[in-house]
Amino acid sequence: MAKTNSLKHLAIIMDGNGRWAKSRGKNRTEGHKMGAETVRHITTYCSAHKEIETLTLYAFSTENWKRPKLEVSFLMKLLGNYLTNELETYMRLGTKFDTIGDLAPFSTKLKKIIADTKEATKDNTNLTQVLALNYGSRDEIVRAVNRVIDSGAEVTEDTLGEALDSPYTDIDLMIRTSGEQRLSNFLLWQLSYSELFFTDTLWPDFTPEHLEDIIDRYHGRERKFGGI
């Protein structure tokens, strides 16, 4: 019998909100609103999945600050509202909330909401949902290297890995929606031996059924990790 791939850590690049809105003659903000709904549906599915322990979602990159100021402002407000409104859902699902990335540029109000959500959900064990916020993998690696140097330790794979933002396992499966086929500076270290799937489905249209189909195909792949 073929060995079944384990799936402890799932990562998703949530792409296509703007195109979803444009295709319907709507403002980009409507796409982001619908994208937030999809986050809820996918998190709900993963919290009940027998294998998945961690779900990491690329929510806002270090490059996203280049977007129009009004859109960035809307995204910051949407994030704060989402976390506030979803706290009950996190608790009901038994989902722990965490983040990776540099939160320093965020407003004091938003940082407090993030911290309060982490504190309230810290003992939940069904799933850990990690939002990558103001995150860029190159930035993460540089900051990790500096942490190791500041500690006086030698820079090795082990010390650097431990100094990264994410204390969780390497990624087993990474999915990008919307048809784009690139990593966009996302978890470059953690994706070293991940299985990658790219789907044409735009993020607001991505359903648990889409995810289940990809997971089934993932289990049919052979992961060699550099071996034969």
Name the 3-class secondary structure at 168: coil
Q: How many residues does the chain have?
A: 228
Active site residue 17: no
| Catalytic residue selected from 5, 27, 64, 185 | 64
Q: Which residues of 164-184 are buried (b: 16+ CB within 10 A; e: fewer)?
A: bbbebebbbbbbbbbeeeebe
What is the secondary structure of 17-71 as a DSSP string? Answer: HHHHHHHTT--HHHHHHHHHHHHHHHHHHHHH-SS--EEEEEEEETTGGGS-HHH
The residues with which 131 forms a beta bridge, in sequence order, are 57, 99
Catalytic status, residue 64: yes
Options 15, 98, 165, 172, the catalytic residue: 15
Q: Which of 188, 150, 183 lies closest to 166 in space, CA to CA?
A: 188
Judge contact between 46 and 209, C-beta under 8 A.
Answer: no
Instruction: Determine contact, residues 14/58, Cβ cutoff 8 Å.
Output: yes
Q: Which residues contact 115 (CB under 8 A, 6 or more apart)?
A: none
DSSP assignments along 104-127, one per residue: TTS-HHHHHHHHHHHHHHTT--SE
Residue 165 contacts residue 100 (beta carbons within 8 Å): yes
Catalytic residues: 15, 64
